[in-house]
Amino acid sequence: MGLWQSYRLRWKRRRWLWRARQRGRELRSLRDRTASIRPGQILLFCCLRNELVRLPWFLDYYRNLGVSQFLIVDNGSEDGSADYLCAQEDVSLWHTTASYRGAHYGVDWINDLLRRYGTGHWCLTVDPDEFLVYPFSDSRPLKALTDWLEASGTRAFPAMLLDMYPKGPITAQPYRAGTDPLAIACWFDSGNYTFRRNPDLGNLWIQGGPRSRAFFADNPAKAPALNKMPLVRWRRGYAYISSTHMMLPRGLNLTYDRSGGEIISGCLLHPKFLDTLTTKAEEETQRGQHFAAGAEYRAYLEGLRAQPDLWTRWSEHYINWRQLEILGLMSKGNWT
C-alpha cells in the first residue's frame, strides 16, 4: 500500500470516528449495566428495531456460547422489544428514534458504543437474525476461540453470512418466539458464491446464495454482501465502515491467506427467511431507512408475493460446523 493510500485511509478512519462521536449523542440510555463489565468478558453489540419475536432465542444462543454482556441500540421499536430487553439482567439498552440511514445504517451508533465500552474486549457485533458458528462451537465456548486467537496474534475473526431457508413456501411454517429458527430454516446453498478482493480495503467481497438467485437474479451484482467481520479484539481507533463487512485500519480486513493456505473462519447462520419476513419487508420498504432507500426489502417484498420456495435439489440440510468446513464455507485453520 502506497503512502498516499495510507494517508487517505487514516483520514477516512478519523472521519468515521468523528461521525460515531456525533451520532452517539442521539442515544438515550434506558438501562445501563456497563458498570458490571469485567476484564476478559466477551461483549455483544447489536442494533435492532421491532425484533421481539427473535430476542428470546437470540439472547439465549449467545449466552450459551459465553457472551457476558449485551449492549443494544433500539431504534424506535413499537413491539415491546425495549421493555423486554430492559428486563434482562445482562443487557444495557440505548434508545433512539433518529434516522437509521443518517447513522449510516446504525454503524455510527455501534462504533460509538464499541469505542466507549468495547476497548480491550473481544466484541461480537451481529444482528438479531445472525448466529455465529465457529470451529468446535458444539463443544468449546467462545472464550476458547478468543483465547486461541489472542495467543496466535489474530485481531479479527471473519465469518461468511450463510442464508438459511425452509423447504417449501416461507409462510408455511409459523415461527414462535423462544424456538430455534434453524429448526424451520434449516437449508442452505452449498455453492453459488462469488469472491472478489476489494483493492482499496483488502477484504473479500462475497455474494451469492438464495438471495442472489431468487431476488437479484436480474442483477446479481446488487445482491447483499455476505462477508462479515463479527468478532474483533477491540481497540480505541477501530471502526466499522459498512455494517460489519469491512473495517479500518485496513489490516483488520486481511483475514485470508493469499498464498493459498487456510486461515480460521466461521459462518453466521442467517435464518432470515421465516414467515415474519413479509411484515418486516413491508415495514422497511415503507420506512426507506435501509441501504439504497430500502431497495433490498423492496426486492424481498416483490419476490415474496409469489410465495417462493427457495429449496432446490442442490440445497444442503444443515448438520453442524464440520459439514460447513467440508464444503469449504469455513475453516478451522491450524486450531486443533
Write down the domain spans for the chain: 3-326
Cα 63 to Cα 170: distance, rounded to the nearest angstrom:
28
pLDDT value of residue 296: 77
With beta carbons less than 8 A apart as the criterion, state whether 51 and 127 touch: no
Residue 261 has pLDDT above 70, yes or no: no
Q: 35: how many CB neighbours lie within 10 A of its CB?
A: 6
pLDDT value of residue 295: 72
Cα 253 to Cα 245: distance, rounded to the nearest angstrom:
9
Residue 292 has pLDDT above 60, yes or no: no
pLDDT value of residue 133: 98
Phi first, then psi, for residue 216 (nearest 5°) are -130, 30
Confidence of residue 289 (pLDDT cuts 50, 70, 90): low
- Residue 233 C-alpha cell reads as 479484539
Mean pLDDT of 139-150: 98
Residue 75 has pLDDT above 80, yes or no: yes
Amino acid at 319: I
Q: What is the CATH number assigned to the segment(s) 3-326?
A: 3.90.550
pLDDT digits (tens, 9 = 90+) for 222-247: 899 999 999 999 999 999 998 999 99
Residue 1 has pLDDT above 80, yes or no: no
80: which strand partners?
A: none
Whether the model clears a pTM of 0.85, i.e. scores above it, the answer is yes
188: which strand partners?
A: 316
pLDDT value of residue 221: 87
Which residues make Cβ contacts (< 8 Å) with residue 56, sequence separation at least 6? Answer: 177, 178
Residue 220 has pLDDT above 60, yes or no: yes
pLDDT value of residue 290: 63
